Amino acid sequence: MGLRVGVFGAGGRMGATVCAAIVGDPALDLTAAIDPHHSGLDLRSVTGVESNLQVQADAAALEHDQPDVMVDFTHLEAACENLRWCAARGVHAVVGTTGFTDDDLDGFRDAFTSSNCVIAPNFAIGAILMMRFAELAAPWFETAEVIELHHDQKLDAPSGTAMLTVERMAEASREWAPDPTRTEIVAGARGGAGPGGIRVHSVRLRGLVAHQEVLLGTTGQSLSIRHDSYDRSSFMPGVVLAVKEVGNRPGLTIGLDSLLDL
Ligand code: NAP
Protein backbone atom coordinates (compact mmCIF):
# COMPACT_ATOMS: atom_id res chain seq x y z
CA MET A 1 0.00 0.00 0.00
CA GLY A 2 1.25 3.51 -0.85
CA LEU A 3 1.32 6.71 1.16
CA ARG A 4 -2.25 7.61 2.15
CA VAL A 5 -3.11 11.09 0.86
CA GLY A 6 -6.19 13.30 1.29
CA VAL A 7 -7.09 16.54 -0.47
CA PHE A 8 -8.76 19.63 1.02
CA GLY A 9 -10.52 21.58 -1.74
CA ALA A 10 -10.88 18.45 -3.90
CA GLY A 11 -13.62 20.05 -5.99
CA GLY A 12 -11.60 23.17 -6.80
CA ARG A 13 -9.53 23.83 -9.93
CA MET A 14 -6.23 22.92 -8.29
CA GLY A 15 -7.68 20.32 -5.90
CA ALA A 16 -9.22 18.30 -8.74
CA THR A 17 -5.91 18.33 -10.63
CA VAL A 18 -4.12 17.19 -7.45
CA CYS A 19 -6.61 14.31 -7.01
CA ALA A 20 -5.84 13.17 -10.58
CA ALA A 21 -2.07 13.39 -9.97
CA ILE A 22 -2.32 11.31 -6.79
CA VAL A 23 -4.50 8.66 -8.42
CA GLY A 24 -1.98 8.52 -11.28
CA ASP A 25 1.01 7.87 -9.00
CA PRO A 26 1.53 4.20 -8.04
CA ALA A 27 3.31 5.17 -4.80
CA LEU A 28 0.31 7.17 -3.54
CA ASP A 29 -3.25 6.24 -2.50
CA LEU A 30 -5.98 8.87 -2.56
CA THR A 31 -7.97 8.06 0.60
CA ALA A 32 -9.89 11.28 1.31
CA ALA A 33 -11.44 14.17 -0.61
CA ILE A 34 -12.78 17.12 1.41
CA ASP A 35 -14.83 19.97 -0.04
CA PRO A 36 -17.86 21.37 1.81
CA HIS A 37 -19.75 22.47 -1.28
CA HIS A 38 -19.47 19.12 -3.05
CA SER A 39 -19.99 16.92 -0.01
CA GLY A 40 -21.90 13.68 -0.55
CA LEU A 41 -21.05 13.57 -4.26
CA ASP A 42 -18.82 10.98 -5.96
CA LEU A 43 -15.35 12.37 -6.52
CA ARG A 44 -15.57 10.95 -10.06
CA SER A 45 -18.61 13.10 -10.87
CA VAL A 46 -16.99 16.22 -9.38
CA THR A 47 -13.53 15.90 -10.90
CA GLY A 48 -13.63 13.19 -13.56
CA VAL A 49 -10.90 11.36 -11.60
CA GLU A 50 -11.08 7.53 -11.61
CA SER A 51 -11.94 7.01 -7.94
CA ASN A 52 -14.76 5.52 -5.86
CA LEU A 53 -14.32 8.06 -3.05
CA GLN A 54 -17.19 10.18 -1.85
CA VAL A 55 -16.44 13.86 -1.18
CA GLN A 56 -16.73 14.69 2.55
CA ALA A 57 -17.80 18.01 4.05
CA ASP A 58 -14.91 18.43 6.47
CA ALA A 59 -12.02 16.77 8.25
CA ALA A 60 -14.29 15.41 11.01
CA ALA A 61 -15.03 12.56 8.58
CA LEU A 62 -11.38 11.48 8.85
CA GLU A 63 -11.24 10.97 12.62
CA HIS A 64 -11.13 7.16 12.34
CA ASP A 65 -9.23 6.87 9.06
CA GLN A 66 -6.55 9.55 8.92
CA PRO A 67 -4.38 9.98 5.83
CA ASP A 68 -0.60 10.26 6.23
CA VAL A 69 -0.58 13.53 4.27
CA MET A 70 -3.26 16.13 3.52
CA VAL A 71 -2.87 18.49 0.55
CA ASP A 72 -4.59 21.89 0.78
CA PHE A 73 -5.53 24.08 -2.19
CA THR A 74 -8.47 26.03 -0.74
CA HIS A 75 -8.90 29.61 0.48
CA LEU A 76 -6.90 31.41 3.14
CA GLU A 77 -9.36 31.09 6.02
CA ALA A 78 -10.20 27.44 5.27
CA ALA A 79 -6.52 26.57 4.92
CA CYS A 80 -5.68 28.04 8.35
CA GLU A 81 -8.38 25.87 9.93
CA ASN A 82 -7.35 22.78 7.94
CA LEU A 83 -3.72 23.20 8.98
CA ARG A 84 -4.67 23.52 12.64
CA TRP A 85 -6.57 20.21 12.25
CA CYS A 86 -3.53 18.51 10.64
CA ALA A 87 -1.12 19.78 13.30
CA ALA A 88 -3.41 18.67 16.14
CA ARG A 89 -3.81 15.15 14.63
CA GLY A 90 -0.17 14.57 13.65
CA VAL A 91 -1.03 14.53 9.93
CA HIS A 92 1.56 15.97 7.51
CA ALA A 93 0.39 18.88 5.34
CA VAL A 94 1.35 20.07 1.84
CA VAL A 95 -0.11 23.49 1.11
CA GLY A 96 -0.48 25.48 -2.10
CA THR A 97 -3.07 27.99 -0.86
CA THR A 98 -1.58 31.50 -1.06
CA GLY A 99 -1.85 34.63 1.06
CA PHE A 100 -0.61 33.58 4.53
CA THR A 101 0.70 36.39 6.74
CA ASP A 102 3.95 36.16 8.71
CA ASP A 103 1.79 35.70 11.84
CA ASP A 104 0.00 32.74 10.22
CA LEU A 105 3.37 31.17 9.38
CA ASP A 106 4.66 31.72 12.94
CA GLY A 107 1.52 29.98 14.22
CA PHE A 108 2.12 26.97 11.93
CA ARG A 109 5.78 26.86 13.01
CA ASP A 110 4.64 26.50 16.64
CA ALA A 111 1.82 24.07 15.84
CA PHE A 112 3.63 21.51 13.66
CA THR A 113 5.57 19.60 16.29
CA SER A 114 4.33 16.02 15.80
CA SER A 115 3.95 16.24 12.01
CA ASN A 116 5.43 18.37 9.24
CA CYS A 117 4.18 21.01 6.84
CA VAL A 118 5.43 22.19 3.44
CA ILE A 119 3.93 25.45 2.12
CA ALA A 120 4.89 26.52 -1.41
CA PRO A 121 3.46 29.62 -3.12
CA ASN A 122 4.60 28.16 -6.46
CA PHE A 123 4.80 24.41 -7.09
CA ALA A 124 6.07 24.68 -10.67
CA ILE A 125 9.61 23.30 -10.51
CA GLY A 126 10.61 25.39 -13.56
CA ALA A 127 9.50 28.57 -11.79
CA ILE A 128 11.56 27.65 -8.71
CA LEU A 129 14.61 27.11 -10.95
CA MET A 130 13.93 30.39 -12.79
CA MET A 131 14.07 32.28 -9.49
CA ARG A 132 17.24 30.49 -8.44
CA PHE A 133 18.95 31.13 -11.79
CA ALA A 134 17.96 34.81 -11.62
CA GLU A 135 19.42 35.05 -8.12
CA LEU A 136 22.68 33.38 -9.27
CA ALA A 137 22.96 35.69 -12.31
CA ALA A 138 22.14 38.91 -10.42
CA PRO A 139 25.67 39.79 -9.18
CA TRP A 140 27.05 39.58 -12.75
CA PHE A 141 24.69 42.18 -14.29
CA GLU A 142 23.96 45.84 -13.52
CA THR A 143 20.54 46.09 -15.12
CA ALA A 144 17.53 43.76 -14.89
CA GLU A 145 13.81 43.86 -15.61
CA VAL A 146 11.13 41.26 -14.88
CA ILE A 147 8.14 40.75 -17.17
CA GLU A 148 5.36 38.58 -15.79
CA LEU A 149 2.51 37.57 -18.10
CA HIS A 150 -0.79 36.08 -16.87
CA HIS A 151 -4.34 35.28 -17.98
CA ASP A 152 -6.87 38.11 -18.11
CA GLN A 153 -8.73 37.04 -14.93
CA LYS A 154 -5.83 37.65 -12.55
CA LEU A 155 -6.79 40.29 -9.98
CA ASP A 156 -3.42 41.21 -8.49
CA ALA A 157 -0.28 42.66 -10.05
CA PRO A 158 2.56 42.01 -10.03
CA SER A 159 2.36 38.29 -9.32
CA GLY A 160 3.73 36.90 -6.04
CA THR A 161 6.34 34.98 -8.01
CA ALA A 162 7.54 38.18 -9.75
CA MET A 163 7.86 39.97 -6.42
CA LEU A 164 9.71 37.06 -4.85
CA THR A 165 12.07 36.91 -7.86
CA VAL A 166 12.92 40.61 -7.55
CA GLU A 167 13.36 40.37 -3.79
CA ARG A 168 15.81 37.52 -4.19
CA MET A 169 17.73 39.31 -6.98
CA ALA A 170 17.94 42.47 -4.86
CA GLU A 171 19.24 40.40 -1.93
CA ALA A 172 21.85 38.76 -4.20
CA SER A 173 23.16 42.10 -5.52
CA ARG A 174 22.90 45.71 -4.33
CA GLU A 175 24.69 47.11 -7.41
CA TRP A 176 21.83 47.98 -9.76
CA ALA A 177 22.21 50.90 -12.18
CA PRO A 178 19.70 53.75 -11.69
CA ASP A 179 16.81 54.08 -14.15
CA PRO A 180 17.82 56.71 -16.76
CA THR A 181 14.21 57.69 -17.63
CA ARG A 182 13.49 61.42 -17.18
CA THR A 183 10.22 61.67 -19.08
CA GLU A 184 7.50 59.01 -19.06
CA ILE A 185 5.14 59.89 -21.92
CA VAL A 186 2.62 57.23 -20.83
CA ALA A 187 2.44 56.79 -17.04
CA GLY A 188 3.65 53.33 -16.07
CA ALA A 189 5.55 52.76 -19.33
CA ARG A 190 8.60 51.78 -17.27
CA GLY A 191 6.59 49.38 -15.11
CA GLY A 192 6.82 49.46 -11.31
CA ALA A 193 10.03 49.73 -9.29
CA GLY A 194 10.46 46.69 -7.05
CA PRO A 195 13.20 46.00 -4.48
CA GLY A 196 16.61 47.29 -5.65
CA GLY A 197 14.77 49.52 -8.14
CA ILE A 198 14.37 46.49 -10.46
CA ARG A 199 11.47 47.21 -12.82
CA VAL A 200 8.53 44.79 -12.94
CA HIS A 201 6.07 44.74 -15.86
CA SER A 202 2.71 42.93 -15.66
CA VAL A 203 1.06 41.78 -18.90
CA ARG A 204 -2.56 40.49 -18.83
CA LEU A 205 -3.69 38.62 -21.92
CA ARG A 206 -6.55 36.25 -22.70
CA GLY A 207 -5.17 32.81 -23.56
CA LEU A 208 -2.13 33.01 -21.27
CA VAL A 209 -1.75 30.97 -18.08
CA ALA A 210 1.34 31.98 -16.02
CA HIS A 211 4.62 33.08 -17.58
CA GLN A 212 7.65 35.10 -16.53
CA GLU A 213 10.78 36.40 -18.18
CA VAL A 214 13.78 37.76 -16.29
CA LEU A 215 16.00 39.96 -18.46
CA LEU A 216 19.52 40.82 -17.29
CA GLY A 217 21.94 43.08 -19.16
CA THR A 218 25.57 44.11 -18.84
CA THR A 219 28.13 45.50 -21.28
CA GLY A 220 27.81 43.79 -24.66
CA GLN A 221 25.55 40.94 -23.52
CA SER A 222 22.18 40.04 -22.05
CA LEU A 223 20.66 36.96 -20.48
CA SER A 224 16.97 35.97 -20.65
CA ILE A 225 15.50 33.41 -18.27
CA ARG A 226 11.93 32.43 -19.11
CA HIS A 227 9.40 30.07 -17.56
CA ASP A 228 5.96 29.16 -18.94
CA SER A 229 3.15 27.30 -17.15
CA TYR A 230 0.71 26.18 -19.86
CA ASP A 231 -1.82 24.56 -17.50
CA ARG A 232 -2.33 23.38 -13.93
CA SER A 233 -0.52 20.11 -14.63
CA SER A 234 2.70 22.18 -14.43
CA PHE A 235 2.29 22.31 -10.64
CA MET A 236 1.78 18.56 -10.15
CA PRO A 237 5.38 17.24 -10.14
CA GLY A 238 6.14 19.75 -7.37
CA VAL A 239 3.04 18.78 -5.38
CA VAL A 240 3.79 15.05 -5.70
CA LEU A 241 7.42 15.63 -4.70
CA ALA A 242 6.30 17.55 -1.61
CA VAL A 243 3.76 14.83 -0.69
CA LYS A 244 6.49 12.19 -0.82
CA GLU A 245 9.09 14.33 1.00
CA VAL A 246 7.07 16.12 3.69
CA GLY A 247 7.54 13.24 6.15
CA ASN A 248 11.32 13.82 6.04
CA ARG A 249 11.20 17.60 6.60
CA PRO A 250 10.64 18.36 10.30
CA GLY A 251 8.50 21.35 11.23
CA LEU A 252 7.55 24.02 8.69
CA THR A 253 9.22 24.27 5.26
CA ILE A 254 8.47 27.29 3.05
CA GLY A 255 9.06 26.90 -0.68
CA LEU A 256 10.25 23.96 -2.73
CA ASP A 257 13.89 25.07 -2.95
CA SER A 258 15.16 22.87 -0.14
CA LEU A 259 13.27 19.85 -1.53
CA LEU A 260 15.10 20.34 -4.82
CA ASP A 261 18.45 20.73 -2.97
CA LEU A 262 18.85 24.27 -4.39
P1 NAP B 1 -10.76 27.15 -6.31
O2 NAP B 1 -11.05 26.58 -7.64
O3 NAP B 1 -11.65 28.23 -5.74
O4 NAP B 1 -10.68 25.91 -5.28
C5 NAP B 1 -10.76 25.99 -3.88
C6 NAP B 1 -11.71 24.89 -3.42
O7 NAP B 1 -11.64 24.75 -1.99
C8 NAP B 1 -13.18 25.19 -3.78
O9 NAP B 1 -13.77 24.04 -4.30
C10 NAP B 1 -13.74 25.57 -2.40
O11 NAP B 1 -15.14 25.40 -2.37
C12 NAP B 1 -12.98 24.60 -1.52
N13 NAP B 1 -13.05 24.91 -0.09
C14 NAP B 1 -13.44 26.06 0.51
N15 NAP B 1 -13.37 25.92 1.86
C16 NAP B 1 -12.95 24.66 2.11
C17 NAP B 1 -12.70 23.90 3.30
N18 NAP B 1 -12.89 24.43 4.52
N19 NAP B 1 -12.28 22.61 3.19
C20 NAP B 1 -12.08 22.07 1.98
N21 NAP B 1 -12.32 22.73 0.80
C22 NAP B 1 -12.74 24.00 0.87
O23 NAP B 1 -9.29 27.77 -6.26
P24 NAP B 1 -7.97 27.23 -7.03
O25 NAP B 1 -7.78 27.95 -8.30
O26 NAP B 1 -7.98 25.73 -7.01
O27 NAP B 1 -6.84 27.79 -6.05
C28 NAP B 1 -6.80 27.38 -4.68
C29 NAP B 1 -5.61 28.05 -4.01
O30 NAP B 1 -4.40 27.58 -4.61
C31 NAP B 1 -5.57 29.58 -4.16
O32 NAP B 1 -5.11 30.14 -2.93
C33 NAP B 1 -4.54 29.82 -5.26
O34 NAP B 1 -3.89 31.08 -5.15
C35 NAP B 1 -3.59 28.69 -4.97
N36 NAP B 1 -2.71 28.27 -6.08
C37 NAP B 1 -1.43 27.93 -5.73
C38 NAP B 1 -0.56 27.44 -6.68
C39 NAP B 1 0.82 27.02 -6.24
O40 NAP B 1 1.65 26.62 -7.06
N41 NAP B 1 1.12 27.10 -4.93
C42 NAP B 1 -0.97 27.29 -8.00
C43 NAP B 1 -2.28 27.64 -8.34
C44 NAP B 1 -3.16 28.12 -7.35
P45 NAP B 1 -16.05 26.73 -2.72
O46 NAP B 1 -15.54 27.30 -4.01
O47 NAP B 1 -17.39 26.15 -2.88
O48 NAP B 1 -15.89 27.65 -1.59
Q: What Cα–Cα distance (Å) separates residue 140 from each residue in 121, 171, 175?
A: 27, 13, 10
Give the pLDDT of residue 44.
94
Is the bond leading into 158 cis (omega within 30 degrees of zero)? Answer: yes
Would the CB of 100 count as within 6 Å of ligand 1? no
Give the pLDDT of residue 131.
96
Residues of the chain falling short of pLDDT 50: none
Give the pLDDT of residue 121.
85
Nearest atom within ligand 1 for CA of residue 95: 41
Give the pLDDT of residue 155.
83
Q: How far is the CA of 10 from the centre of ligand 1 (A)?
A: 8
Fold category of 125-229 in CATH: Dihydrodipicolinate Reductase; domain 2 (3.30.360)
Nearest atom within ligand 1 for CA of residue 238: 40
So which residues are the catalytic ones?
150, 154
Domain boundaries, the chain: 3-119+233-260, 125-229
Give the pLDDT of residue 63.
87
Q: How far is the CA of 55 from the centre of ligand 1 (A)?
A: 15
The correct answer on CATH 3.40.50.720 for the domain covering 3-119+233-260 is yes
Nearest atom within ligand 1 for CA of residue 37: 47
Pocket test for ligand 1, best of 8, 70, 73, 83 (most atoms within 8 A of CB): 73
Which residues, in sequence order, are CB contacts of 196 under 8 Å at separation 6+?
Answer: 166, 169, 170, 173, 174, 176
Give the pLDDT of residue 69.
98
Give the pLDDT of residue 160.
85
Q: Looking at the whole model, is its pTM more than 0.85?
A: yes
Q: How far is CA 129 from the centre of its chain?
A: 13
Would the CB of 73 count as within 6 Å of ligand 1? yes
